[in-house]
Amino acid sequence: MSILIKNATILTQNQKRKQLYGDIYIDHHVIQEISQQSLSIEAEYVIDASQYLAIPGLINTHTHIPMTLLRGYGDDMLLHEWLEQRIWPVEAKLTQGAVQIGTDLGLLEMIASGTTCFVDMYFFEDSVAQSTIKAGLRGFLGFAFIDIGTPEYRPEELVSAGKRFISRWKNHDLIQPIIAPHSVYTCSPETLQQARDIAEKHSIMLHTHCSETRENVYDVQKQYGVRPVQHLKNLGLLHKNMLLAHCGWITKNEVQDIKKAGSSISHCPVSNMKIATGGFAPIPECLEAGVAVGLGTDGAASNNVLDMFDTMKFCALIHKNHRWDPRVLPAQTVFDCATIQAAQCLNMDKQIGSIEEGKYADIVLVDMHQPHFYPQHDHVSNLIYVARGGDVVTTIVNGQLVMHDRMIQTLDTEKILSASKTCAEELTK
């Protein structure tokens, strides 16, 4: 597919964060040319983007996409009550079919709100992979290890199933399989080491929940005598292929350890606020230390959207509030975390995360010709403090139009919405 985007205001997110006005030509999955002169090239699709901002596709570095089925099923509850009374009973009933429906629903929402790449962690992850390929998104899909087992596999089956999952998907264009031990408090040291060995053998990423709540940190320290980051370090899991979700309760020393190891962080401010964990990853210190920081929505059950624009605004504001300083996390920094920094988290910053010639064409067009964007003093400010998912008109992933003029091209929206309702009713009755 070849696409010519005409007359766009382009926020490149290249090293100089250059803003251009011009054309973008896409072919063979790649951004072939960016020009401030009008390009006269024939293309299958020519898009007049004179009212649009062209931005790099947003990268959601932490979610559990099948949980989109549980959006709004239990809010405003204490964490353990919510898990025990709502989430776990439904998860125990989840089938491959339900996971696929939940995934499809989440994919619709991500496409519609400008997310082109996401990091997932769940079970029936083969279904997630199949749906992701069909949808045309880029997925870093985490096969979950958890010592109590999953609805898909008994505990003793997980390691070999995980290996098969890796082998099955590791050469796919859009999918990067990853191993996702759920956390240091739900996985034994042996399980974590097995995860480490598989990841090392296949040169793939690891993804885990880390220090989300004070209670997690307390429990790990009590059991192992060290805090979670040190525990991961002791077991050899703190390295450049490790992406740590949350990190709401890490110390400045731990930031330094994470930096030395080359690991990265997925910050999920909306979920942290909604679950009321009280703590936030020290993002200013992480960025100052040179730790790559991505943003994540977490699952829709604790957010309740997969809209990265929403997460960007919350991220910008919660840290200002937390530090009593409006200069903390300016708009450009937050935009970086959702794009080029996130690509760094995934060791993919040479391939995605900015609009540059030679990179994969993961590009989103945002309609700025609406009252809430005017009078257009500052495009980056508008993206962070004003824009919301519904302002996205076109989503291009790997050079393919997955949404065009607000119409999703790759999935059957009506069929999925209807199936999600029926499925959710059955699961919760």
Smaller CB separation from a second copy, 84 or 190: 84
Q: Which 85-114 residues touch a second copy, going by CB under 8 A?
A: 105, 108-109, 112-113
Question: Looking at 30-38, 198-206, 356-364, 377-385, which segment touches a second copy (CB under 8 A)?
Answer: 377-385
**Candidate residues 1, 79, 83, 133; the one interacting with a second copy per rule CB under 8 A:** 79
Smaller CB separation from a second copy, 69 or 397: 69
Q: Which of 108, 102, 115, 81 is nearest to 297 (CA)?
A: 115
- How many residues in total does the chain contain? 429
Size of residue set near a second copy by CB under 8 A:
72
**Candidate residues 62, 71, 196, 207; the one interacting with a second copy per rule CB under 8 A:** 71
Vertex 404, ends 399 and 408: CA angle to 5°? 100
Is residue 386 a contact point for a second copy (CB under 8 A)?
Answer: yes
Question: Looking at 159-167, 227-235, 255-263, 411-419, which segment touches a second copy (CB under 8 A)?
Answer: 411-419
CB 364 within 8 A of CB 57: yes
Q: Considering the complex, what minimum distance in angstroms separates the CB of residue 414 from a second copy?
A: 9
Is residue 378 a contact point for a second copy (CB under 8 A)?
Answer: yes
Q: Which 274-303 residues touch a second copy, going by CB under 8 A?
A: 274-278, 303
Q: Which 313-372 residues touch a second copy, going by CB under 8 A?
A: 313-314, 316-318, 320-321, 323-331, 369-372
Is residue 82 a contact point for a second copy (CB under 8 A)?
Answer: yes
Smaller CB separation from a second copy, 105 or 121: 105
Q: Considering the complex, what minimum distance in angstroms separates the CB of residue 106 from a second copy?
A: 8
Q: How far apart are CA 237 and CA 255, in angstroms?
A: 15
Q: Considering the complex, what minimum distance in angstroms separates the CB of residue 75 from a second copy?
A: 5
Q: How far apart are CA 95 and CA 376, in angstroms?
A: 48
Backbone angles phi and psi of 388, in degrees to 5:
-140, 165
CB 366 within 8 A of CB 53: yes
**Candidate residues 114, 136, 228, 389; the one interacting with a second copy per rule CB under 8 A:** 389
Tokens of 399: 């050079």
Is residue 395 a contact point for a second copy (CB under 8 A)?
Answer: no
Question: Looking at 3-11, 124-132, 204-212, 312-320, which segment touches a second copy (CB under 8 A)?
Answer: 312-320
3-11 and 45-48 as β-strands: parallel, antiparallel, unpaired? Answer: parallel
Q: Which of 427, 419, 416, 428 is nearest to 94 (CA)?
A: 427
Q: Considering the complex, what minimum distance in angstroms separates the CB of residue 79 from a second copy?
A: 7
Q: How far apart are CA 155 and CA 72, in angstroms?
A: 30
Smaller CB separation from a second copy, 20 or 79: 79
Q: How far apart are CA 283 and CA 255, in angstroms?
A: 9
Backbone angles phi and psi of 400, in degrees to 5:
-110, 140
Smaller CB separation from a second copy, 205 or 300: 300
Q: How far apart are CA 217 and CA 219, in angstroms?
A: 6
DSSP state of 187: S
Place of tokens 């598989």: 198
**Candidate residues 272, 297, 395, 410; the one interacting with a second copy per rule CB under 8 A:** 272
Q: How far apart are CA 331 and CA 353, in angstroms?
A: 16
Q: Which of 293, 47, 309, 351 is nearest to 174 (CA)?
A: 351
Alpha-carbon distances of 229 from 168, 215, 235, 401, rounded to whole Å: 31, 14, 10, 40
**Candidate residues 69, 178, 348, 361; the one interacting with a second copy per rule CB under 8 A:** 69
Q: Residues 198-237 vs a second copy: string with x where CB under 8 A?
A: ----------------------------------------
Q: Considering the complex, what minimum distance in angstroms separates the CB of residue 27 from a second copy?
A: 30
Smaller CB separation from a second copy, 120 or 257: 120
The SS3 assignment for 246 reads: strand
Q: Which 27-66 residues touch a second copy, going by CB under 8 A?
A: none
Smaller CB separation from a second copy, 70 or 255: 70
Q: How far apart are CA 242 and CA 179, in angstroms?
A: 10
Alpha-carbon distances of 241 from 68, 173, 343, rounded to whole Å: 27, 19, 12
Q: Which 252-271 residues touch a second copy, going by CB under 8 A?
A: 270
Strand partners, 394: 365
**Candidate residues 20, 43, 77, 133; the one interacting with a second copy per rule CB under 8 A:** 77
Backbone angles phi and psi of 75, in degrees to 5:
-125, 170
Question: Looking at 115-123, 222-230, 285-293, 412-420, which segment touches a second copy (CB under 8 A)?
Answer: 412-420
Q: Considering the complex, what minimum distance in angstroms separates the CB of residue 158 from a second copy?
A: 29
